[in-house]
Structure 1
Amino acid sequence: MFFRTKFLTATALVCALSTPAFAEGPDASTVVATVNGTDITLGHMIATKQTLPPQYAQLPDEVLFQGILDQLIQQVVLSDAAGDDLPLSVTLTLENQARAVRADHVIDNAIKAAVTDEAVEMAYAAQYEGAEPEAEFNASHILVETEEEAAEIVTRLEAGEDFAELAREKSTGPSGPNGGELGWFGKGMMVPSFEEAVLTLEAGQISAPVETQFGWHVVKLNETRVKDAPALEDVRDELAAGVEQVAIGQALSTLTEAATITHTEDEAITPDLLSTVTLDME
């Protein structure tokens, strides 16, 4: 079906008309149309606009107005045709959707109250202010299957052969074609034995063979640097998302703990019922 709450029909969009004139001071309760005794208000239209996907919501109001109104009229007509004797599946879906909308409203309020400039600044201070600067490493490696192969590579490197050329020739790792370069990484990003080898090297030095679950490595530390704390604006969105998640978790925890929840203890209620019990779909 092409009648959906969040999508406008193509016909409704292209048949846009001018906004009708109101008496003075129209607001959300202003009735725009009445269908079979059901009022469609300006508030209904605004709420519908707020649920549109971006490609529709960004259209000018003079384009959207008649399209949204036509959609709501169609919905009332179709809803009336359904009558009151609805299939169980429809009734349950309506109940679920009503709960979901109310739940979203509570979560939105919790987020608005929690995600403030002050909260984001506090999160920044907690995460970055006073923290020790982090060292980062730029390294290359050559990965082979055996310790003997790795030892031979070390010998060839000590004799003056070029690391990148040997990596392209010998390495079985995905970085081989790129001369073994791994780029920049911080502590905890590599497997422990590999990281330990990197930490023992000075820039330009080559390690003895190092074993990991991937095979045997010969590692070259290219350079190191200290990673400064990012500017607040560079991580504002990330920090805000973290504050938001904490707020949602706290709201859910508080409300759940205060709720009276009783689980039905019946051995007949088993997970497979989700697939074996059917709803009427008439």
Structure 2
Amino acid sequence: MIRQFLMAGSVLALLSGPSFAQDAAAPTAEATQAAVDEALKTFTGDSVVATADGHEIKLGDLALAFSGLNPQLSALSPDEVYAGLKDQIVTETLLAAAADKAKLGDEPETKRRLEAVRRATLAETYIAREIDNRLTDEAVKAEYDKEIGAAPVQEEVRASHILVETEEEAKAVVERLAKEDFAEVAKAESTDKGSGAEGGDLGWFTAEVMVPEFSEAAFKLEKGATSAPVKSQFGWHVIRLDDRREVEKPSLEQVGGFIRQRLAQKFAGEIIEELRGAAEVKDAEPQPPAAILRAQELFQK
């Protein structure tokens, strides 16, 4: 809550500044990165950028706060965001010093909150580091090879159809197609108005996209051939196979990000399972009723 209040009074307030509306002289990304690289030769995370009643505000503190900003804010004017974050941390430092002076750190509620932050921070840091150790390029490539590279080649077809309500109507359509153009009959007779307006064209699709009866008939056809009437839950179809081809597999570059996300989730689960499996976890007896968690006295005393 305090951090939200401080942000509202510092960085978020910058949104009303004129520099956010337009910045005609904004440096290019290359120039900005060059300036950062040069500055890193002089400054470190321990570099002091301000003091507040003798308490040091360090550059690493600003960088940590910046890393937690909403991306929309972090993409705005660097000078204004830097000044806003520095102002925020100065305010937090003065408030924390006042709390220390009032010995609020000795109160049970404060101790519990500080311990909760410490516990969560250590847990997040540990699992993130362990995931990074396992999430190598080799692991991503192996997952790609297993799930995509080694998967059988999939086929897709392009087909057109004419949909009618009865088998008799479908048989009459087949007879007409011996003398008339498929697209024209589809426009005139098909109850599927979407594809009918396109001459019956359904575009490219794989077998699982269509209902089984339709796919089975379509994929058995030779290119250019027309089926006998086929019944499905939608009515009776007369299908023409226009073309077929192999589905191109996505490259590692195309799906690498998705694979990394999925592996990260998988590794997180494995890490937690390993820790819990090796630990002795026992519930104490007796257990209180679950509703007792509503009692604020529990963390205030």
What's the TM-score once normalised by structure 1's chain length?
0.72
- Matched residue type, 1:54: P
Change (3 A) 1:261 1:184: farther
Seq. identity, %: 34
**Could you tell me which of 146, 155, 164 is aligned with 2:175?**
155
Contact persistence 1:111–1:247 (CA under 8 A): yes
- Matched residue type, 2:59: L
**Could you tell me which of 70, 74, 92 is aligned with 1:75?**
92
- Matched residue type, 2:135: V
State the shift of 1:138 in Å: 1.2
Q: Is residue 2:271 matched to residue 1:254?
A: no
Q: Is residue 2:187 matched to residue 1:170?
A: no
1:87-134 Cα deviation digits (max 9, x unpaired)? 97x998877665554443233223322222222222233234454432
1:192-241 Cα deviation digits (max 9, x unpaired)? 22221112211122223333334433322110012344443333323333
Partner Cα separation in structure 1 for residue 15 and residue 52 of structure 2: 17
Can you give the 5+ residue segments of structure 2 that lack an aligned partner in the other structure? 20-40
Which of 197-206 and 94-103 deviates more? 94-103
The structure carrying a bigger helix percent of its residues is: 2
C-alpha RMSD of the superposition: 4.1
1:218-275 Cα deviation digits (max 9, x unpaired)? 3221100123444433333233334333322322322332344456887954xxx69x
- Matched residue type, 2:221: L
SS of 1:218's partner is strand
Q: Is residue 2:58 matched to residue 1:41?
A: yes
Partner Cα separation in structure 2 for residue 214 and residue 263 of structure 1: 57
**Could you tell me which of 108, 122, 136 is aligned with 2:128?**
108
**Could you tell me which of 169, 182, 191 is aligned with 2:202?**
182
Contact persistence 1:28–1:43 (CA under 8 A): yes
Contact persistence 1:136–1:225 (CA under 8 A): yes
Partner Cα separation in structure 1 for residue 18 and residue 220 of structure 2: 72
- Matched residue type, 2:213: S
Contact persistence 1:114–1:247 (CA under 8 A): yes
- Matched residue type, 1:217: H
Contact persistence 1:210–1:216 (CA under 8 A): yes
Change (3 A) 1:116 1:155: same
Change (3 A) 1:178 1:70: farther
1:124 aligns with: 144
- Matched residue type, 2:11: L
Partner Cα separation in structure 2 for residue 177 and residue 278 of structure 1: 66
Change (3 A) 1:159 1:122: same
